[in-house]
């Protein structure tokens, strides 16, 4: 057995399937919830944090003490953009259809691909460029179709688009951060930053959709 790649405790297909089911039902539950999107996002990430805490140990605490000041700023920025993503994307579901909002959200890899090219000089293959073009054409078709429905649907598409851009920035920051910060702490920190940001939005009257 390869000591570098130990056998996982469960088959990877199982958590992958659970994640796919959870993601598929998320926009439906958001649409039918009466709570403000800021509150929904806060509780969503709070549950994530609660599920992660039992797995925290000495290794994570030692890594916490080793984080540099510059990395703390990057972590703060990553948490901000993740919170912004949830607020914008969840708000979009109040204006446009679940299908349109989720389809636009699937553009995240495209945004990350473009950002990685300009920021990290990652090369794009011919297939990647073809997929990028197809994705952009698809989103243009969705936007054109929704513009014929109502201004509200177009507003929802725009919110989803901006939310997708925000989570793409979060992923690009993650690429830089995870070179020095453990993924466990990065995920826990990003999840915890949504709560104060969402609370401020709620108290100020923002994100009450």
Per the structure block, which two tokens stand in for 125? 């293959």
> What is the rounded distance in angstroms from the CA atom of residue 14 to the CA atom of residue 120?
33
pLDDT winner (highest mean) among 24-28, 63-67, 100-104, 158-162 = 158-162
Asked if residue 209 has pLDDT above 60, the reply is: no
Q: Which of 27, 17, 6 is nearest to 163 (CA)?
A: 27
The ranges assigned to domains in the chain are 39-203
Please report the pLDDT score of residue 31 as a whole number.
81
Find the mean pLDDT for residues 85-99.
86
Q: At what angle do helices 183-203 and 151-177 cross, to 10 degrees?
A: 140
Find the mean pLDDT for residues 68-85.
84
Asked if residue 154 has pLDDT above 80, the reply is: yes
Find the mean pLDDT for residues 150-175.
89
Q: Which residue has the higher pLDDT, 49 or 120?
A: 120
Prediction pTM value:
0.74
> What is the rounded distance in angstroms from the CA atom of residue 88 to the CA atom of residue 30?
12
Please report the pLDDT score of residue 147 as a whole number.
57
What radius of gyration, in Å, describes the C-alpha atoms of the chain? 19
Q: Quick check: 106 and 168 in contact, CB under 8 A?
A: no
Least confident of 94-108, 125-139, 193-207: 193-207
Find the mean pLDDT for residues 98-117.
85
Please report the pLDDT score of residue 9 as a whole number.
66
Please report the pLDDT score of residue 101 as a whole number.
85
Asked if residue 108 has pLDDT above 60, the reply is: yes
> What is the rounded distance in angstroms from the CA atom of residue 165 to the CA atom of residue 160?
9
Please report the pLDDT score of residue 23 as a whole number.
78
Find the mean pLDDT for residues 167-175.
90
What digits encode the pLDDT tens for the residues 19-61? 888 878 888 888 888 877 777 777 777 787 777 777 766 666 6
Please report the pLDDT score of residue 201 as a whole number.
54
Number of C-beta neighbours around residue 128 at 10 A: 15
What digits encode the pLDDT tens for the residues 189-208? 766 656 555 555 554 444 55
């Amino acid at each position: 057995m390869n000591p570098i790649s130990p056998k996982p405790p469960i088959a990877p297909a199982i958590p992958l399937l659970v994640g796919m089911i959870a993601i598929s039902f998320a926009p439906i539950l958001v649409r039918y919830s009466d709570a403000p999107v800021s509150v929904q996002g806060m509780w969503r990430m709070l549950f994530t944090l609660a599920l992660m805490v039992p797995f925290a140990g000495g290794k994570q605490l030692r890594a916490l003490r080793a984080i540099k000041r510059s990395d703390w700023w990057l972590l703060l920025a990553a948490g901000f953009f993740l919170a912004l993503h949830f607020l914008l994307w969840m708000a979009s579901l109040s204006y446009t259809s679940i299908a349109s909002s989720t389809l636009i959200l699937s553009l995240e890899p495209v945004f990350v691909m473009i950002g990685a090219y300009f920021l990290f000089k990652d090369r794009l293959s011919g297939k990647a460029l073809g997929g990028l073009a197809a994705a952009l054409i698809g989103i243009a078709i969705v936007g054109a179709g929704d513009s014929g429905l109502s201004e509200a649907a177009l507003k929802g598409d725009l919110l989803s688009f901006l939310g997708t851009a925000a989570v793409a920035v979060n992923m690009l920051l993650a690429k830089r951060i995870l070179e020095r910060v453990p993924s466990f702490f990065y995920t826990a920190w990003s999840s915890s930053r949504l709560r104060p940001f969402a609370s401020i939005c709620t108290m100020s009257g923002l994100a009450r959709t």
